[in-house]
């Protein structure tokens, strides 16, 4: 029996790699002769880099400028391909993540993506011909302008002065100086993983929908939205491209700048990561799939990694077992996605706090219990 163990992260308690190890421990208690294949998954947000490294990509570490100028260490990964090129995987959260910044109104206006641009430059220096950008957990709402600044672009105001970094300054941009923009951008392919359909600006845009979680109050949201609207106009004047498209509002509008100045495409996060890591081949050989995440809720049903994996397994006739920290959807909801059994850590842990504190222990226990009852 081949069991594909492919969870996403249990946010706040276990990485996807750690979750896979705990699930495997529980599964082998019930089926000691089984082949337990641990294959952490992600949906294009935080955890994408971890999934790539687990699939064989080489992890690298660079010191970069964080979202409010303090230096941070940021990981990324690369793997050579059979055609002489290489694919790099970069997460915006690594260099420009909310974890590196206190979410206040002032910081929400200052935060930028310059460090992400430094990682892109490092990937280009390493020979990357394709760059996968995983979005999620970002601190900035700067439309990707900071990243382009690190790659040589200069946004200037009406007087010709370079504007400060951060989304709060975008409304002052009158034009962009492209004379120093890295020419390698034109030759590399960007594949940008998105799991939202929000446009760059407007009521459903980056600032209005996601600004508050980055510390923006009502006034800051309006400043950021106006800046992103102006940035889209400046980009349109410079490139004749409309960047206010569905998905461009992800990660503070980060995709917009790369839609304007590079060969970039927006792709569904799970499908992109699955293709990147070779998940389809592993799935085809499986007799059983066990997946899960920290909180299985209505957002999960919209296509997050565990449900997307369950759908793919269902199409192949492979049964799926779901384990999660908590489950906030019905068994009927899960059955529609091919899930034959499900259990949550809260069923076995004495309290939610204990479930988080000792998640690996309770995840192994929950897995063995649900398999015994399936």
* Residue range 309-322, pLDDT digits in tens: 999 999 999 999 99
**Domain shared by 63 and 200, yes or no:** yes
pTM (two decimals): 0.89
Domains in the chain, number? 2
What CATH number is associated with residue 331? 3.40.50.10350
**Domain shared by 234 and 357, yes or no:** no
**Domain shared by 215 and 103, yes or no:** yes
pLDDT band at 300 (very low <50, low <70, confident <90, very high): confident
**Domain shared by 170 and 22, yes or no:** no
pLDDT band at 304 (very low <50, low <70, confident <90, very high): confident
- Quote the tokens at residue 225: 């939205």
**Domain shared by 178 and 153, yes or no:** yes
Domain housing 183: 56-271
**Domain shared by 265 and 286, yes or no:** no
What is the model's pLDDT at position 57?
95
**H, E, C per residue of the chain:** CEEEECCCCECCCECHHHHHHHHHHHHHHHCCCCEEEECCCCCCCCCHHHHHHHCCCEEEEEEEECCCCCEEEEEEEEEECCCCCEEEEEEHHHHHEHHHCCCCHHHHHHCCCHHHHHHHHHHHHCCCCEEEEECCCECCCCCCHHHHHHCCCEEECCCCCECCCCHHHHHHCCEEECCCCCHHHHCCEEEEEECCCCCCCCCCCHHHHHCHHHCCCHHHHHHHHHHHHHHHHHHHHHHCCCCCCCCCCHHHHCHHHHHHHCEEEEEEHHHHHHHHHCHHHHHHCCCEEEEEEEEECHHHHCCCHHHHHHHHHHHCCCCEEEEEEEECCCHHHHHCCCEEEEEEHHHCCCCHHHHHHCHHHHHHHHHHHHHHHC
What is the model's pLDDT at position 45?
83
**Domain shared by 232 and 337, yes or no:** no
**Domain shared by 157 and 299, yes or no:** no
Which pairs count as long-range contacts for 303-306, CB under 8 Å and 24+ apart, including other chains?
303/43, 303/195, 303/268, 303/270, 304/8, 304/43, 304/195, 304/270, 305/8, 305/41, 305/42, 305/43, 305/269, 305/270, 305/273, 306/7, 306/8, 306/41
**Domain shared by 85 and 223, yes or no:** yes
Model confidence at 283: pLDDT above 90: yes
What is the model's pLDDT at position 82?
79
pLDDT band at 28 (very low <50, low <70, confident <90, very high): very high
pLDDT band at 196 (very low <50, low <70, confident <90, very high): confident
Model confidence at 149: pLDDT above 90: yes
**Domain shared by 63 and 36, yes or no:** no
What is the model's pLDDT at position 11?
87
Model confidence at 374: pLDDT above 80: no
- What is the distance between the alpha carbons of residues 228 and 345, in angstroms, rounded to a whole number? 42
Model confidence at 229: pLDDT above 90: yes
Q: pLDDT tens for residues 164-188? A: 999 999 999 999 999 999 999 999 9
The pLDDT > 70 percentage for the chain reads 100
**Domain shared by 207 and 264, yes or no:** yes
**Domain shared by 247 and 304, yes or no:** no
């Amino acid at each position: 029996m081949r069991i594909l163990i492919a969870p996403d992260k249990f946010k706040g308690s276990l990485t996807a790699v750690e979750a896979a190890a705990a699930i495997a421990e529980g599964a082998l208690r019930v089926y000691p002769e089984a082949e337990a294949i641990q294959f952490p998954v992600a949906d294009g947000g935080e955890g994408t880099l971890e999934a790539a490294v687990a699939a064989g990509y080489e992890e690298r570490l660079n010191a970069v400028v964080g979202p409010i100028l303090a230096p941070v260490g940021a990981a990324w990964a690369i793997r050579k391909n059979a055609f002489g090129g290489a694919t790099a995987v970069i997460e915006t959260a690594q260099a420009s993540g909310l974890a590196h910044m206190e979410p206040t109104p002032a910081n929400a206006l200052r935060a930028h993506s310059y460090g992400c641009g430094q990682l892109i430059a490092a990937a280009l220096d390493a020979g990357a011909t394709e760059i996968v950008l995983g979005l999620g957990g970002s601190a900035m709402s700067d439309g990707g302008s900071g990243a382009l600044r690190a790659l040589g672009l200069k946004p200037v105001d009406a007087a010709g002065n370079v504007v400060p970094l951060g989304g709060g300054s975008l409304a002052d941009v009158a034009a962009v100086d492209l004379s120093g923009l890295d020419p390698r951008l034109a030759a590399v392919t960007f594949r940008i993983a998105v799991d939202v359909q929000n446009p760059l600006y407007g009521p459903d845009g980056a600032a209005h929908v996601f600004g508050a979680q980055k510390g923006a109050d009502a006034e800051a949201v309006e400043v950021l939205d106006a800046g992103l609207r102006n940035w889209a106009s400046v980009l349109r004047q410079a490139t004749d491209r409309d960047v206010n498209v569905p998905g461009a509002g992800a990660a503070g509008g980060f995709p917009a700048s790369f839609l304007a100045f590079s060969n970039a495409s927006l792709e569904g996060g799970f499908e992109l990561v699955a293709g990147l890591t070779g998940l389809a081949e592993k799935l085809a050989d499986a007799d059983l799939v066990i997946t899960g995440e920290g909180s299985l809720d209505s957002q999960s049903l919209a296509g997050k990694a565990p449900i997307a994996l369950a759908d793919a397994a269902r199409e192949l006739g492979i049964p799926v077992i779901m384990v999660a920290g908590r489950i906030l959807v019905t068994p009927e909801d899960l059955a529609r996605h091919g899930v034959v059994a499900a259990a949550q850590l809260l069923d076995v842990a004495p309290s939610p706090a204990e479930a988080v504190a000792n998640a690996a222990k309770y995840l192994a226990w929950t897995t063995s219990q649900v398999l015994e009852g399936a």
